[in-house]
Each structure stands twice: as structure tokens, then as C-alpha cells.
């Protein structure tokens, strides 16, 4: 296998990865970005992005990611299609972190910025998967606006579902919240907010059997898992808020993570438990998960990498 030695490797190509690349390339770290299997990240599955500062008329998600890529390339970032399949980090400041790409190429990098993001969990129904982009969304803050004054439903009983149901209730005429157990997992404060909204209807013991509609969402078929009663409701938007999975499987056993697999970073920095290895974006943030916050931590990771290289004399 050929080995390539570089200063900075960035794994992942969402807003965090590309922003890290813009800063790292301007600092002359000559970064290499490996895009991962979903070049551009989660935003490429969104249509309009209306909440990223600097785009007064909104921007198409894939277009925004392409522009971020071009901005990174303008300063010399080497963007490559490929996936990190194995990592072997080192604690030696003289050593190199070893990353295998596509099981066939080895990179030795002095610094590594991990921006592999997180993936929204879906129920896994065929009808749900078919209608992603046609009324099924995993991000109320991104897509809620398209359902202004319309009736929508949201599935999930955690803090995200409760927060997003409350968010949607400000925009939509009615929100049906479907919780599979007879209680919510969300904090009491969040539950209180949901209960205080007149236009949120809570349905406990409720599971989605099918999302109805050919090309766009028209309704839901719901089953009550206590009574087995089946019901159909009319909606135009269906939001899935059953959690996210950080893309950290290949780092397990090396990087410190919380119990759900999010990478832990030191204080306000992007430092992981390995010197020279930094984490930015959704892979280390389960709370905010916005493009703009991911971009902000991408910038921090590049600055942290630059400072680290300076301290070890590179
Ligand atoms: P959680 O894992 O906390 O909750 C997931 C919810 O989805 C649970 O109610 C779960 O049900 C339900 N669920 C899972 N799979 C299915 C399924 N197949 N069908 C139906 N329902 C399903 O994820 P969250 O994204 O809500 O939160 C993640 C973390 O982020 C938590 O620690 C949370 O506290 C935190 N957070 C904090 C916020 C804040 O403080 N402002 C805002 C948002 C998140 P069940 O309970 O039955 O397992």
C-alpha cells in the first residue's frame, strides 16, 4: 500500500469539514478532504436552506455545499472522493496518525479533523423513505416553514421531538405528536411546553404503519399498539425526530465518546483525547446541530490544528 504524508487530513465534507478546509488551506496547511460516502453531508438531502447567514433569498442545500467546496478549493484544498475505513491514532507528537482510505490507501497525517457528522434515524418504512423530500423530513427547523398554516405530524418522544413539535406549533395550524410508549422520554420542562400548546395533539401508544401519498405526503396510517386500532389522519408534512446516530463507528476504542457515541471534546475547544486529533460539527454536537454551528466548530478545529502544529514545530 502506498503511504502519503500530509499535515492535515479532514474527514467529512459537510459545513464543518469544508469550513475547516477553508481555514486550514488559508493557513497553508495544505489540507486533504475525504468527502465520505455522502459528499456535502446532510444538507444535500435538504432543499432550501433559509437560515444560513449571508443568503438573504435562501439557497439550495446541494448548491450551498458545492459553493463551500469551491471556496475551500480556491485556497488549495485537495478534495477527494473516498471514505476513511480505519484509523490508528498516536499519542506521540513525533508520530503520524494513520488513516486508511477505502481499505486501500494509507495516509499519515500530523493532524486530523473529524467532521463525519451524524445521520438522522428514520423509522425505516418503505413509504417514509420514498417520500423523503416530498413531505417527510428529519429536521423541523430546516423544513417546518414549508408547512405554514398546514397540518403536520411528528414522531418521537424525546427532547428533540418535544422541541420540534413546539417549534412547528408556532408555524403550522396543527401538530399531531406520535409517541410509541404511554409516556414521553423528554424532560418535564419540554413536556410542559408541548402540553401548553393548544394546537399540539398528543397520541400515546401510537406507531406509524404507513405514510400515505404517491409523490407527496397526504396522511398517515397509525396503529394504537394497546388496542390495535388503526386510524388515518390527513397531513401534508411528516417529521421524524427519533434521534440521530453520530458517524463514529471507526473511532470506537480510540476516541473518548459519550454513551451515545458523540465524540467528547475538551472544554470549549475541538480537542479530542489524542493530541492533533480534533472533532467538529455534528459528530461532537447533539444539541445544536445547525449548519452554522457546524461551520463555526469547523473553523475552531482548523485553528486548533494550526496551533498544535506550531507547538510541535511543523
Ligand atoms: P432520544 O434518543 O432522547 O429520544 C428518541 C425518541 O424517539 C424516544 O422517545 C424514542 O422512544 C423514540 N423512538 C426511537 N425509535 C423510535 C421508533 N422506531 N419509532 C417511534 N419512536 C421511536 O433522542 P433525541 O434526539 O430526542 O435527543 C438526543 C439527546 O439530545 C438527548 O440526550 C436529549 O436530551 C438531547 N437534546 C437536548 C435538547 C435540549 O436540551 N434543548 C434538545 C434536543 C435534544 P422511546 O422513549 O420509546 O425509546
289, three cell numbers: 446541530
Ligand 1 centroid–CA 143 distance in Å is 19
Please list the alpha-helical segments (H only) found in the chain: 15-26, 61-74, 126-130, 140-143, 159-169, 188-195, 291-311
Strand 59-60 versus strand 97-101 pairing type: unpaired
Domains along the chain? Answer: 3-119+244-311 (3.50.50.60), 122-240 (3.50.50.60)
Rounded Cα distance, 221 and 67, in Å: 40
Beta bridge partners of 11: 34, 114
Task: Find the mean pLDDT for residues 151-159.
Answer: 97
pLDDT digits (tens, 9 = 90+) for 268-281: 999 999 999 999 99
Is residue 287 in contact with ligand 1, taking CB distance under 6 Å?
yes
Residue of 28, 50, 78, 139 with catalytic role: 139
Residue 314 has pLDDT above 70, yes or no: yes
Angle at 300 between CA 75 and CA 86, to 5 degrees: 80
pTM, two decimals, is 0.80
pLDDT digits (tens, 9 = 90+) for 53-68: 999 999 988 999 999 9
According to the model, what pLDDT value does residue 179 have? Answer: 98
Q: How many CB atoms lie within 10 A of CB 200?
A: 20
Is residue 123 in contact with ligand 1, taking CB distance under 6 Å?
yes
| Contact in structure between 230 and 223 (CB atoms under 8 Å) | yes
117, three cell numbers: 457528522
Residue 233 has pLDDT above 80, yes or no: yes
186, three cell numbers: 423528554
Task: Find the mean pLDDT for residues 187-195.
Answer: 95
pLDDT digits (tens, 9 = 90+) for 98-117: 999 999 999 999 999 999 99
According to the model, what pLDDT value does residue 46 have? Answer: 67
Q: Please give the DSSP secondary-structure letter assigned to residue 141.
A: H
pLDDT band, very low/low/confident/very high, at 49 (cuts 50, 70, 90): confident
Q: For a ligand 1 pocket test, name from 243, 246, 261, 289 the mutation site with the most ligand atoms within 8 angstroms of its C-beta.
A: 243
Residue 302 has pLDDT above 90, yes or no: yes
Task: Find the mean pLDDT for residues 290-301.
Answer: 97
According to the model, what pLDDT value does residue 37 have? Answer: 86
Is residue 31 in contact with ligand 1, taking CB distance under 6 Å?
no
Is residue 163 in contact with ligand 1, taking CB distance under 6 Å?
yes
Q: What are the respective helix, strand and coil percentages of the chain, to the nearest 5?
A: 30, 30, 40
Residue 78 has pLDDT above 90, yes or no: yes
Ligand 1 centroid–CA 175 distance in Å is 18
Is residue 206 in contact with ligand 1, taking CB distance under 6 Å?
no
Rounded mean pLDDT of the chain?
95
Residue 48 has pLDDT above 80, yes or no: no
Nearest ligand 1 atom to alpha carbon 162 = 26
Residue 210 has pLDDT above 80, yes or no: yes
pLDDT band, very low/low/confident/very high, at 42 (cuts 50, 70, 90): confident
Q: For a ligand 1 pocket test, name from 159, 165, 262 the mutation site with the most ligand atoms within 8 angstroms of its C-beta.
A: 159
Side by side, the strands of the sheet bearing 200-203 are 136-137, 237-240, 151-155, 174-178, 200-203
Is residue 157 in contact with ligand 1, taking CB distance under 6 Å?
yes
Ligand 1 centroid–CA 70 distance in Å is 36
Task: Find the mean pLDDT for residues 237-241.
Answer: 97
Helix (H, G, I), strand (E, B) or coil at 66: helix
Amino acid at each position: 500500500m502506498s503511504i502519503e504524508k500530509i499535515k492535515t487530513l479532514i474527514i467529512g465534507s459537510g459545513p464543518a469539514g469544508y469550513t475547516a478546509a477553508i481555514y486550514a488551506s488559508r493557513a497553508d496547511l495544505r489540507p486533504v478532504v475525504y468527502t465520505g460516502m455522502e459528499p456535502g453531508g446532510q444538507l444535500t438531502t435538504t432543499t432550501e436552506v433559509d437560515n444560513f447567514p449571508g443568503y438573504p433569498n435562501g439557497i439550495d442545500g446541494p448548491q450551498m455545499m458545492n459553493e463551500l467546496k469551491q471556496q475551500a478549493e480556491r485556497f488549495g484544498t485537495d478534495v477527494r472522493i473516498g471514505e476513511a475505513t480505519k484509523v490508528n491514532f498516536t499519542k506521540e507528537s513525533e508520530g503520524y496518525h494513520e488513516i486508511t482510505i477505502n481499505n486501500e490507501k494509507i495516509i499519515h497525517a500530523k493532524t486530523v479533523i473529524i467532521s463525519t457528522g451524524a445521520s438522522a434515524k428514520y423509522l425505516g418504512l418503505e413509504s417514509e423513505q420514498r417520500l423523503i423530500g416530498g413531505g417527510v423530513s428529519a429536521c423541523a427547523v430546516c423544513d417546518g416553514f414549508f408547512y405554514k398554516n398546514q397540518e403536520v405530524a411528528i414522531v418521537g418522544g424525546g427532547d428533540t421531538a418535544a422541541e420540534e413539535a413546539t417549534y412547528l406549533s408556532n408555524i403550522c395550524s396543527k401538530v399531531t405528536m406520535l409517541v410509541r410508549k404511554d409516556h414521553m422520554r423528554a424532560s418535564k420542562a419540554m413536556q410542559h411546553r408541548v402540553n401548553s400548546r393548544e394546537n399540539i395533539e398528543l397520541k400515546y401508544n401510537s406507531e406509524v404503519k404507513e405514510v400515505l401519498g404517491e409523490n407527496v405526503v397526504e396522511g398517515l396510517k397509525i396503529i394504537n399498539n394497546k388496542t390495535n386500532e388503526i386510524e388515518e389522519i390527513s397531513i401534508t408534512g411528516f417529521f421524524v425526530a427519533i434521534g440521530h446516530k453520530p458517524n463514529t463507528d471507526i473511532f470506537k476504542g480510540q476516541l473518548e465518546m459519550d454513551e451515545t457515541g458523540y465524540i467528547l471534546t475538551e472544554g470549549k475547544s475541538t480537542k479530542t483525547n489524542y493530541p492533533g486529533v480534533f472533532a467538529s460539527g455534528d459528530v461532537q454536537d447533539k444539541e445544536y446541530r445547525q449548519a452554522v454551528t457546524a461551520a463555526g466548530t469547523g473553523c475552531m478545529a482548523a485553528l486548533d490544528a494550526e496551533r498544535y502544529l506550531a507547538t510541535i514545530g511543523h
